[in-house]
Amino acid sequence: MIPAVEFIHVTKRFPGAAAPALDHVDLVIEPGELVCVLGTSGGGKTTLIKLINRLHDPDSGTVLVNGEDISRADPVELRRGIGYVIQQTGLFPHMTVADNIACVPKILKWDRQRIDARVDELLELVHLDPADFRDRYPSQLSGGQQQRVGLVRALAASPAIMLLDEPFGAIDAITRANLQDELLRIHRGNGKTFIFVTHDVTEALKLGTKVLVIDAGRVQQYAAPEELLRNPATPFVRELLATQGYAAGGRRL
């Protein structure tokens, strides 16, 4: 099986930085995984996913998406096939909910009937009644509703890969838990590859089929949640788990 995403000896250093943001990263993400990228601020999490959709390019090494070297791909075309969700939702304030969701399908020249059907399908997927929500503007939505719309906008053209950069970080705890449940349900229903950045250990353990722990630009561990809890691979992983209440073996403190 061809990996959904592969990093081969990838290094990325930003100008003026004392150390690389990513330092000789090797990684294979199989199709259908929900990989949670976990670590402290500045550890390289966001840089990693921005290399996948060429918002950054590596200084050395190779990034493959579906077996193709993305350095040879047109960045715009590449991004049309990759969903991208950020914490601030990125919704266009002057566009209705329906028009926000329809952005990529319009670029891909879908016909109006197909676009309308897809908008309604996606709104129903996240329990937003199309009759009530399709003509609203982002300012007329709650934070949780905006996040739902941002999520399904990224799903609109059925991308094989979804990148999610701390999408629930600014949401209250109850809404966040509900959105996590929605994300799990969507992932299980579509079999796509999701790569989800978070600094929250509990969120990573709840959502991830695999958890990728990064610190100082280096991969500390890449494992299923149960293995991460049972056998932390490095002192950093053990410390990260302990600071958020997880003792050896996964017991909550």
Residues in the chain: 253
Q: What is d(CA 205, CA 129) in angstroms, rounded to the nearest whole number?
A: 31
Residue 157: CB atoms within 10 A of its CB come to: 19
**Residue 20 C-beta-side C-alpha neighbours within 13 Å:** 16
- Predicted confidence at residue 251, as pLDDT, reads 62
pLDDT in tens, the chain (253 residues): 899 999 999 999 999 999 999 999 999 999 999 999 999 888 999 999 999 999 999 999 999 999 999 999 999 999 988 999 987 667 899 999 999 999 989 988 999 999 999 999 999 988 999 999 999 999 999 988 998 899 999 999 889 999 999 988 778 888 889 889 989 999 998 889 999 999 999 999 999 999 999 999 999 999 999 999 999 999 999 999 999 888 766 666 5
- Predicted confidence at residue 100, as pLDDT, reads 95
Cα separation values, 191 from 32, 42, 62, 112, 121, Å? 5, 30, 25, 27, 17
Q: Interior CA angle at 13 toward 11 and 14, to 5°?
A: 150
Residue type for position 209: T
Q: What is d(CA 16, CA 57) in angstroms, rounded to the nearest whole number?
A: 17
Q: What is d(CA 215, CA 17) in angstroms, rounded to the nearest whole number?
A: 15
Beta bridge partners of 62: 8
Q: Interior CA angle at 34 toward 181 and 66, to 5°?
A: 140
- Predicted confidence at residue 145, as pLDDT, reads 92
- Please give the backbone phi and psi of residue 21, each rounded to the nearest 5 degrees, phi first: -70, -35
On whether the CB atoms of residues 38 and 212 are closer than 8 A, the answer is yes
Residue type for position 78: L
pTM for the structure as a whole: 0.91
- Please give the backbone phi and psi of residue 88, each rounded to the nearest 5 degrees, phi first: -85, 5
- Predicted confidence at residue 170, as pLDDT, reads 73
Residue type for position 43: G
> SS3 of 27, please?
strand
